[in-house]
């Protein structure tokens, strides 16, 4: 178990792990779970972390404008990010406010998306449509179907499992000054 | 990539993976993400799968009665379970209705919880309480603070990533007959 001396250490340790999500394709932080609300059941899905930026408290994901998560975000832009890192026994939970960008504003982002990844934006028929056979769909990459989700991090809660667990919460509104919590 | 011949094959494959969560401590299915709603931000946390039962469409978790998830479940017993299996490129999403058991009814369950695990139920001060130092708490195992969450599975949605992805949805109300979906 990593030895954590103080609250700032703990947050630094978490950000090292989050940042590995961008740099290291094998890190579980590469594939966070993105959680949205709904009037019936809350929804969660694995997404690829596209950017993370501690300076600006942001994490970036990409999605198809016609995906179910876009519908959920239109109803409620308050979402969650969850990362579980089994090797270091660390759980990272974030509350985020999501700014959805689509249309012409995404063109500079789209230009940086490799052709092999663009196929994820523009499937016909629309994602979630019932089809007769598993491969009854086509990839038709389309910048108009491409959305960038900028997640503005509001809180980070950390739980490090060990002989005795340690838990803390950090809030943007207090400039990321943390508090220890009973686990 | 696993070759899936038909919808029943696909659901069988997913249940093999889910069942490994009970048998294999190294399987990611051992630690699903459990998702609850909230009036502000949706919440997700890693839990240990205690039981899974395909016959009865159930998954079982244990928790402290004073945890935040219990508060969320009192407001809305509709929850989600998310499992991402990177080795087989399979995502499993479930909508579940949660039946919370606590009090004397949990005694038979409690008797099967090893002493080393009982410390998770009964921390003083209560989970989430702000404390001055990271270890300012005590483990006081208490059967009265132990709750069993019986998750009644209503839907299972599967996404298998491959050269071409395949996606399907299965509902309890149609006796788990599936439908292919555009991914």
pLDDT in tens, B128-181: 999 999 999 999 999 999 999 999 999 999 999 998 999 999 999 999 999 999
How close is the nearest chain B Cα to the Cα of A124, in Å?
A: 8
Q: Phi and psi at residue B29, in whole multiples of 5°?
A: -70, -15
Chain A residue closest in CA terms to B122: A183
Confidence (pLDDT) at B2: 63
Question: Considering only CB atoms, which chain B residues are within 8 Å of A31?
Answer: 84, 86
How close is the nearest chain A Cα to the Cα of B59, in Å?
A: 17
Q: Which of A44, A91, A180 is nearest residue B35 as measured by Cβ atoms?
A: A44
**Selection from A125, A162, A167, A173 nearest residue A145 by Cα:** A125
Indicate which of B46, B47, B123, B172 best probes the interface with A, i.e. most A CBs within 10 Å of its own CB.
Answer: B46
Specify the pairing of strand A90-102 against strand A130-131: unpaired
Is residue A138 in a domain?
yes
Indicate which of A1, A29, A171, A183 best probes the interface with B, i.e. most B CBs within 10 Å of its own CB.
Answer: A183
Please indicate, yes or no, whether the overall pTM of this predicted structure exceeds 0.90.
yes
Is residue A42 in a domain?
yes
Confidence (pLDDT) at B3: 78
Confidence (pLDDT) at B88: 96
Say which CATH number the domain at B33 has: 2.30.110.10
What sign has the CA pseudo-torsion A167, A56, B42, B91? negative
B45: domain range? 7-181
pLDDT in tens, A87-115: 999 999 999 999 999 999 999 999 999 99
Is residue A1 in a domain?
no
Confidence (pLDDT) at A1: 55
Is residue A41 in a domain?
yes
Is residue B175 in a domain?
yes
Confidence (pLDDT) at A147: 98
CA angle B148, B31, A172 (to 5 degrees): 95
Is the bond preceding residue A23 a cis peptide, omega within 30 degrees?
A: no
pLDDT in tens, A4-23: 989 999 999 999 999 999 88
Confidence (pLDDT) at B155: 98
Q: Could you report the predicted ipTM of this complex, rounded to two decimals?
A: 0.96
Question: Considering only CB atoms, which chain B residues are within 8 Å of A46?
Answer: 82, 84, 91
- DSSP E strand boundaries for chain B: 33-36, 43-46, 51-53, 58-64, 78-85, 90-102, 130-131, 146-160, 166-171, 178-181
Is residue B2 in a domain?
no
Confidence (pLDDT) at A3: 79
Walking along chain A (183 residues) 10 residues at a time, the average pLDDT comes out as 86 97 93 95 97 98 97 97 97 98 98 95 98 97 98 98 96 98 98
Confidence (pLDDT) at A23: 86
Walking along chain B (183 residues) 10 residues at a time, the average pLDDT comes out as 86 97 93 95 97 98 97 97 97 98 98 95 98 97 98 98 96 98 98
Confidence (pLDDT) at B57: 98
Is residue A125 in a domain?
yes
Confidence (pLDDT) at B102: 97
Name the domain count of chain B.
1
Is residue B128 in a domain?
yes
Q: What is the secondary structure of A115-150 as a DSSP string?
A: HHHHTTS--BSPTT-EESSTT--B----GGGEEEEE
Cβ within 8 Å, pair B93-A43: yes
Q: Given the structure tokens 């974030």, which residue do they identify? A: A94
Q: Phi and psi at residue B54, in whole multiples of 5°?
A: -65, -35
Indicate which of B26, B67, B82, B123 best probes the interface with A, i.e. most A CBs within 10 Å of its own CB.
Answer: B82
Cβ within 8 Å, pair B125-A182: yes
Question: Considering only CB atoms, which chain A residues are within 8 Å of B93?
Answer: 43-45
């Amino acid at each position: 178990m990593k030895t954590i001396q103080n609250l700032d250490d703990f947050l630094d340790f978490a950000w090292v792990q989050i940042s590995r999500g961008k740099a290291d394709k094998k890190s579980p932080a590469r594939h966070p779970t993105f959680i949205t609300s709904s009037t019936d059941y809350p929804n969660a899905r694995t997404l690829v972390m596209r950017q993370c930026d501690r300076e600006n408290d942001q994490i970036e994901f990409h999605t198809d404008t016609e995906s179910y998560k876009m519908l959920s975000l239109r109803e409620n832009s308050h979402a969650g990010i969850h990362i579980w890192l089994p090797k270091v026994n660390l759980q990272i939970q974030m509350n985020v406010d999501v700014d959805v960008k689509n249309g012409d504003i995404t063109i500079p982002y789209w230009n940086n998306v490799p052709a092999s990844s663009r196929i994820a934006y523009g499937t016909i028929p629309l994602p979630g449509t019932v089809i007769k056979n598993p491969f009854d769909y086509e990839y038709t990459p389309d910048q108009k179907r491409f959305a960038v989700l900028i997640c503005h991090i509001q809180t980070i809660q950390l739980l490090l499992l060990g002989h005795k667990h340690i838990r803390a919460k950090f809030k943007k509104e207090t400039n990321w000054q943390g508090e220890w919590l009973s686990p």
